[in-house]
Amino acid sequence: MADDKKLTTRAADFSAWYNEVVLRAELADYSPVRGCMVIRPNGYGIWERMQRTLDDMFKATGHQNAYFPLLIPQSYLAKEAEHVEGFAPEVAVVTHGGGKKLDEPLIIRPTSETIIYSMFAKWVQSYRDLPLLINQWANVVRWEMRTRLFLRTLEFLWQEGHTAHTTHDEAEEEARRMLGVYSDFMEGHMAMPVITGLKSNSERFAGALRTYSCEAMMQDNKALQAGTSHNLGQNFAKAFDLKFQAEHGGIEHAWNTSWGVSTRLIGGLVMTHADDNGLRTPPLLAPIELVIVPIYKTDDERAQMLEAADRVVEMLHDWERREPGRLRVHVDTRDGMKPGAKYYEWELRGVPLRMELGPRDLAKNEAVLVRRDTREKRPVSLNAIGEEVNELLMRIQDDMLIAARERREANSVRHTISYGDFKELMEGKGGFVYAGWCGGAECEAQIKEETKATIRVLPDEEFRSAEAPANCLKCGRPSTAEAVWARAY
């Protein structure tokens, strides 16, 4: 099954390493359609856990799921001026259906603001119908020229939240709340620390008033935009005539937000946690949390070890009755394959914890647990195996976040840096640079052209430096906002 050639190392070629991990951990595969990938069970299992967790979080904040059409009349895109400018160049167009040319071409949704707000306009009459808090799990298509597995594909899976409110402030609060949900999910479940903040105007979503973003640092020190949340103001409400009878009389346009994360997160997870031996999955998102590998030489020993493995699984399930449905465990019963080959394969696939179960361990009523994150090995008594396994999984989850956070901080520059040094850094090892910005679009554009670095966010207060930078990184004029600069995916 797994080809046992060593992976390219991160140090040798990060990009080649990334593709190899995705392919060989069987997260995804190339498809016969340019830029479209197949998400294989090992990758889809991670996505299912992401979906389930986020969906619960969306419902806990009052949202309901719905489903809107894949195909959108081309004319709809044009109703919001900035929106069409942003998305028209990358749409896929359906011109024929049922053997006939269509009167009006349809586009495959690149995002669903237009179709959704046209429906909201039909459903909302009065302030009593607001807020309207809807989420959709869907596929979208954007005609990208350069694609990368998970990170940038023609088609991707995502969720898009769309809400309507009576006031600007309520919409703003919603946009910020969902940014917080994303950031909690990324840190709490993906063990991927993020910086949140406001995008500069040049990086704002096409049609939004303000865009907020979660930015994570990958192991090559580049930034990944992991999720965005937009305060759309009244732009789409005006374009689609989304109005309501206000509580104290008069007709007003509603205020909208939209927010989304996608299968790109799986790419982020790989580039945050995988190592030169393959994937490392945070336990909370792992399709398999614990794999048990029986060790034996003879048929008799095999029978004994498989029986012991079954008993261990039973003990684990007994223990977890206190916390039901928690533990996802798999016994690798394949015969004719050496334990070492199995270890290699499960490490490649990123299972967080491995149990080695052999006759000598069993004689001592023990098993050996091996952490995937640190590769630390230790014998544990089978008497308390439930507690041991669960505690260890929780510790792995925590330690992965701590390690990722330390790596990010070690590669962030918060001291004053000259533009020359900044340029050198961006061409070299990269990282996040916290620096002053005059607020001018020209400085931003020049820096991007000269260094390929962009403003990832104007960070939220908790991420800002203790002492605000005094001058613009580029022009030296007084800074109006601290900005986080980095090269990005």
Q: Which residues bind a second copy (CB under 8 A)?
A: 1, 29, 31-33, 36-41, 44-45, 47-48, 64-73, 76, 88-99, 105-106, 108, 115, 118-119, 122-123, 128-129, 134, 138-139, 141, 143-145, 154-155, 157, 324
Nearer to a second copy, 124 or 223 (CB): 124
Which of 64/202 has CB closer to a second copy? 64
Grouping H, G, I as helix, E, B as strand and the rest as coil, residue 394 is helix
Q: How many CB atoms lie within 10 A of CB 404?
A: 23
Distance CA 192, CA 53 (A): 15
> Is 16 in contact with 323 (CB distance < 8 Å)?
no
Q: How far is the CB of 351 from a second copy (least distance, A)?
A: 15
Minimum CB separation of residue 166 from a second copy in Å reads 17
Other CB atoms within a 10 A radius of the CB of residue 445 amount to: 13
Minimum CB separation from a second copy for residue 61, in Å?
Answer: 15
Question: Least Å distance between CB 152 and a second copy?
Answer: 13
Q: Which residue lies nearer to a second copy by CB, 89 or 340?
A: 89
| Paired tokens of 425 | 């850094």
How many Å apart are CA 94 and CA 115, to the nearest integer? 16
Residue 107 or 305: the one with the smaller Cβ distance to a second copy is: 107
Query: Looking at beta carbons, which pairs linking 300-303 to residues 24 or more positions away fall under 8 Å?
Result: 301/359, 302/335
CA pair distance 316, 411, nearest whole angstrom:
40
Nearer to a second copy, 93 or 445 (CB): 93
The dihedral sign for the CA sequence 41, 326, 186, 172: positive
Taking each helix axis from N to C end, the angle separating 264-273 and 41-60, rounded to the nearest 10 degrees, works out to: 110
d(CA 238, CA 251): 12
Nearest to 268 by CA among 204, 187, 375: 187
**Length of the chain, please?**
489
Q: Is the Cβ of residue 154 or residue 269 nearer to a second copy in the bound state?
A: 154
Q: Which helix (H) or strand (E) holds 140?
A: strand 132-141
CA distances from 40 to 53, 321, 362 (A): 20, 31, 36
How far apart are CB 41 and a second copy at their closest, in Å? 4
Q: Are strands 132-141 and 64-65 parallel, antiparallel or unpaired?
A: parallel
Q: With respect to a second copy, which residue has the nearer C-beta, 287 or 436? A: 287
Query: Dihedral angle at the C-alpha atoms of 133, 152, 35, 69, nearest 10 degrees?
Result: 10
C-beta of 134: minimal distance to a second copy in Å?
Answer: 7
Cα separation, 180 vs 65, whole angstroms: 19
Report the C-alpha gap between 131 and 147 in whole angstroms: 37
Is 76 or 463 the residue whose CB approaches a second copy more closely?
76
Which is nearer to a second copy, 32 or 249 (by Cβ)? Answer: 32
d(CA 437, CA 456): 12
Give dist(CA 242, CA 227) in Å, integer: 26
- The residue (of 41 and 340) whose beta carbon lies closer to a second copy is 41
CB of 97 to a second copy, least distance (A): 4
